[in-house]
Every structure is written in structure tokens, then in C-alpha cells.
């Protein structure tokens, strides 16, 4: 070192600091880059992405390569800085200046600054640096393998599995987080659709079915003229036919078939029964994603939901499943309140007791529990453990609820005050502070 002039030592130290910054930023850039975007860019043929993907196929070797290069450069920088500062500050103060000064220089210019930039813009660092790291990895393969073998041996002694790892697969909850964090890259409505698709496995046919009491069906034993009038004025394209009781279901008749027979003056009860289509039954516990696949395989669009005893509980259609994904089909420009929840002037809602709780929560952003009864009537009765009387008020799942109307053994109308919602787990003092 004594034969090398000060200018050369200074230039060498600067070059070594830049090389250290290169290795530090490369490590951060390659390790923080979005792996899925990287695969996308590699599939599009971007050279930098292809090189980076090859390096990341063996992250242990990549880290070993970068650390070998980084440590060699930092040690060399220490040797050069010691010789330089000894010459500038003498043998007494030179080591002290080397220790303090080089630490600050490396920390600021070779670690924090380049790593921060690489974390913010990983592609701008990873792709160019891969141009040098890839051939360097081939050149130093024996040394990297030797270092990795020693490292893996130490990890094995510590009983740490070096072959494990979760890989790049994402769980359903992780996918949900990715969708929500997409921000403006994915429109909000598309985010809601993607999340709804992920939730199909949690929703069953019972959750979305039209209840048995609300199914539009025709008794084929009724007067023929009355039956004909109901069928031709039906708002549904497929109508369920039954004998005396809905439990004795005959099948579905398509209004199109009925109109075709009517146009040919062949519309009789016998011809209508011949046009009946076979009923598709599904258990009430069938997840929606399974039901959708079954509808596709069987080329069905409608089915009856049965319980564990085989009794008919409701009706489900392909449109119901699609509405779970994309929302209700509507052309109204009014606020998207549930049709059975009427907003009052005081901010409360008058809600039909038979309203599905999931629909209320989804459309009005409420938080009623959905792991028990499916309707608001059922939820209140389960809570009270009896059929209540009119004008009874209670706090249900954090919401003040007033029973307005009861008909027979069913709660017909309730008033809900959503603006006074309080988390049931909160204390009264916490709620008042809010």
C-alpha cells in the first residue's frame, strides 16, 4: 500500500463503496420484487425479468453469492481505508478515523440509502443488476456451493429444515388481502366481485335460497282456467308445479313452452304436464361453488333445496349464485337499500321479519350474526327463546331493535336503529367515549 498514491487509494475506496452499494441494493431489490409480476413480465419475454427469475429459483445460492461479494468488497474497503487514513491522520488517529468514518460511510452510502431505494423501486434495481449477477453466479458456483454446504450443515445441527418453505402459493385470506391492496389498479366493484368469488365456499344453498313460503308455485289440481291465468301472468320464466302440497312437487314448466302450446291451441293440462321438466334437488348445506359446478355439469338453472330429511326448504337458481358474485341485478339509481328494509325519516329502518340476514348485512353494511338463523325473525326468537309481543325493544347484536308487528307465530316487522350500533364486546364507557 505504501507504493500507491493517495489519489489512487481514494478512488479505490470510492469504487469499493459503490460496489458494496450495488450488492446491498441487489439483495433488497431481488428479494422484495413482486414474484407474480415478475412471472408475468418473464412470460412476456422481458430479459431482465427472465434473468431475475433464474436467480430467484435458488434464493439460498443468490443470497450466498451476494453476501460473498458484499463481504469481500467491505473487507477490501476496510484495508484501503486503513492505509488511506493512516497516511492522512497518522498511526494514532488513523485507526479511530477508519472505524468511525468507514462505518458511517458504509452505513449511509452502501447500506441504508441503496437498500431503501431498492425497496421502493425493486424492478429498477433487480433487472439491471441481474445482468451482472447471473454470469457471476456461474463463475463463483463452486465457492457458493461450498459456503451453502457449511451453512446448511450448521442449520441441520440446529434441527432447522432447509428444504421446507411455503413457496409462492397464496391462501384464500392472502388472496383477499392482495385484492384489497390492489387499490386503483382494480376498480372497487371488481374487487367486490373477486372477494365474492373467494367467499362462495363459505356460502351454502340455504343462505341464498327463496324460502319455501315464498316460492311461486301452481297446484295442478286447481281449476284449469285459474291455473292458465296464473301461468300466463307469471313474472317467472320457470314455474314449479305440485299436487295439493309443495312437498309433492311435479316439476318445472317453462313459460316459453306454455306460450308455444298456447299459440298452437294445444295448451291443456295434459300437454302442460308433458312439457314439465325434471326437478333438480340439492342439499341445503351445498356450498355455492359446488352448486355452480353441478348446475354447469347437469345443464340446470334452477333447483329445489332439501334438508337432511328430504323436505323441501326452498328454491335456488343460477341467477341467485350470480347475484352473490356481482350483486343484485337492478337498473334503479336510488340508494341500494334492501327492498324489505324501508328507511324512515329518523334514520331507522322498518325491516320485514322474514328478510335474509346475509342480504341485510351485505346491502346495508350491518353486522348481525349469520352463523345461526337465516332470517331476522329467527334471530330475534332465538335470542328471546320465545315468541314475543308487540312493542318490545331489545339490543340485538349491538343494534337497538323494536318489535313493531307480530302476526300469528311470526314477527312481521321490526324497527332497527343502525346509527346507535355498539359492538357487543364494548363496555358502556367505551361506547359513550365514541
List pLDDT tens digits, range 272-313.
Answer: 888 888 899 999 999 998 999 999 998 999 999 999 888 999
Give the pLDDT confidence score for residue 324 in this predicted structure: 84
Has residue 113 got a pLDDT over 90?
Answer: yes
Give the pLDDT confidence score for residue 432 in this predicted structure: 44
| Out of 231-235, 325-329, 409-413, least confident range | 325-329
Three cell numbers at 162?
Answer: 432447509
Q: How many percent of the chain have pLDDT more than 70? A: 91
Instruction: Show the CA angle centred on residue 20, arms to residues 16 and 21, nearest 5°.
Output: 120
**What's the mean pLDDT in 351-363?**
84
Q: Strand order in 217-219's β-sheet?
A: 217-219, 238-243, 245-254
**Distance between CA 14 and CA 307 in Å, rounded?**
77
Q: Is the Cβ–Cβ distance between 421 and 398 less than 8 Å?
A: yes
Average pLDDT score over the chain? 84
pTM as predicted = 0.58
Residue 218 makes CB contacts below 8 A (sequence gap 6+) with 227, 230, 231, 239, 240, 241, 242
Has residue 332 got a pLDDT over 50?
Answer: no
**Distance between CA 38 and CA 417 in Å, rounded?**
50
384 vs 339, more confident: 384
Three cell numbers at 88?
Answer: 492522512
Give the pLDDT confidence score for residue 22 in this predicted structure: 93
Give the pLDDT confidence score for residue 173 in this predicted structure: 77
Give the pLDDT confidence score for residue 19 in this predicted structure: 94
Give the pLDDT confidence score for residue 338 in this predicted structure: 54
Name the band, by pLDDT with cuts 50, 70 and 90, for residue 107. very high
Name the band, by pLDDT with cuts 50, 70 and 90, for residue 94. confident
Q: Is the Cβ–Cβ distance between 285 and 256 less than 8 Å?
A: no
Largest Cα–Cα distance in the chain? 117
**What's the mean pLDDT in 17-21?**
93
**What's the mean pLDDT in 311-320?**
92
**What's the mean pLDDT in 358-371?**
83
179 vs 380, more confident: 380
Give the pLDDT confidence score for residue 426 in this predicted structure: 55
Q: Is the Cβ–Cβ distance between 107 and 19 less than 8 Å?
A: no
Has residue 183 got a pLDDT over 80?
Answer: no
Reduced to 3 states (helix: H, G, I; strand: E, B; else coil), residue 224 is helix
Interior/surface letters 36-50, b for 16+ CB within 10 angstroms, e for the rest: eebeebbeeebebbb
Amino acid at each position: 500500500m505504501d507504493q500507491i498514491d493517495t489519489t489512487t487509494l481514494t478512488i479505490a475506496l470510492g469504487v469499493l463503496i459503490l460496489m458494496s452499494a450495488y450488492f446491498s441494493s441487489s439483495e433488497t431489490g431481488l428479494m422484495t420484487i413482486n414474484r407474480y409480476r415478475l412471472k408475468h413480465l418473464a412470460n412476456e419475454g422481458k430479459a431482465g425479468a427472465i434473468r431475475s427469475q433464474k436467480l430467484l429459483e435458488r434464493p439460498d445460492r443468490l443470497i450466498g453469492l451476494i453476501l460473498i461479494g458484499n463481504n469481500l468488497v467491505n473487507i477490501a474497503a476496510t484495508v484501503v481505508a486503513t492505509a488511506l487514513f493512516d497516511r492522512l491522520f497518522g498511526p494514532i488517529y488513523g485507526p479511530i478515523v477508519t472505524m468511525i468514518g468507514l462505518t458511517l460511510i458504509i452505513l449511509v452510502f452502501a447500506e441504508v440509502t441503496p437498500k431503501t431505494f431498492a425497496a421502493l423501486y425493486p424492478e429498477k434495481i433487480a433487472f439491471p443488476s441481474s445482468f451482472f449477477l447471473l454470469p457471476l453466479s456461474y463463475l463463483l458456483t463452486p465457492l457458493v456451493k461450498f459456503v451453502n454446504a457449511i451453512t446448511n450443515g450448521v442449520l441441520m445441527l440446529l434441527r432447522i429444515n432447509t428444504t421446507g418453505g411455503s413457496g409462492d402459493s397464496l391462501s384464500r385470506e392472502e388472496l383477499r388481502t392482495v385484492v384489497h391492496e390492489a387499490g386503483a389498479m382494480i376498480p372497487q366493484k371488481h374487487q367486490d366481485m373477486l372477494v365474492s368469488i373467494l367467499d362462495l365456499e363459505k356460502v351454502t344453498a340455504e343462505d341464498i335460497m327463496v324460502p319455501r313460503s315464498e316460492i311461486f308455485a301452481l297446484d295442478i289440481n286447481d281449476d284449469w282456467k285459474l291455473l292458465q291465468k296464473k301461468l300466463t301472468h307469471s313474472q317467472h320464466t320457470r314455474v314449479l308445479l305440485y299436487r295439493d302440497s309443495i312437498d309433492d312437487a311435479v316439476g318445472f314448466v317453462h313459460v316459453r313452452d306454455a306460450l308455444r302450446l298456447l299459440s298452437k291451441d294445444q295448451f291443456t293440462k295434459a300437454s302442460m304436464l308433458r312439457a314439465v321438466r325434471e326437478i333438480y334437488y340439492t342439499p341445503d348445506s351445498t356450498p355455492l361453488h359446488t352448486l355452480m359446478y353441478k348446475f354447469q355439469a347437469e345443464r340446470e338453472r334452477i333447483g329445489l333445496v332439501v334438508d337432511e330429511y328430504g323436505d323441501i326448504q326452498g328454491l335456488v337458481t343460477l341467477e341467485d349464485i350470480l347475484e352473490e358474485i356481482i350483486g343484485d341485478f337492478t337498473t334503479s339509481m336510488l340508494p341500494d337499500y334492501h327492498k324489505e328494509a324501508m328507511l324512515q325519516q329518523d334514520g331507522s329502518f322498518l325491516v320485514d321479519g322474514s328478510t335474509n340476514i346475509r342480504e341485510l348485512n351485505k346491502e346495508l353494511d350491518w353486522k348481525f350474526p349469520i352463523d345461526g338463523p337465516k332470517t331476522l325473525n329467527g334471530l330475534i326468537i332465538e335470542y328471546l327463546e320465545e315468541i314475543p309481543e308487540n312493542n318490545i325493544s331489545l339490543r340485538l347484536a349491538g343494534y337497538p331493535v323494536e318489535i313493531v308487528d307480530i302476526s300469528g307465530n311470526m314477527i312481521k316487522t321490526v324497527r332497527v336503529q343502525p346509527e346507535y350500533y355498539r359492538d357487543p364486546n364494548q363496555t358502556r364507557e367505551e361506547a359513550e367515549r365514541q
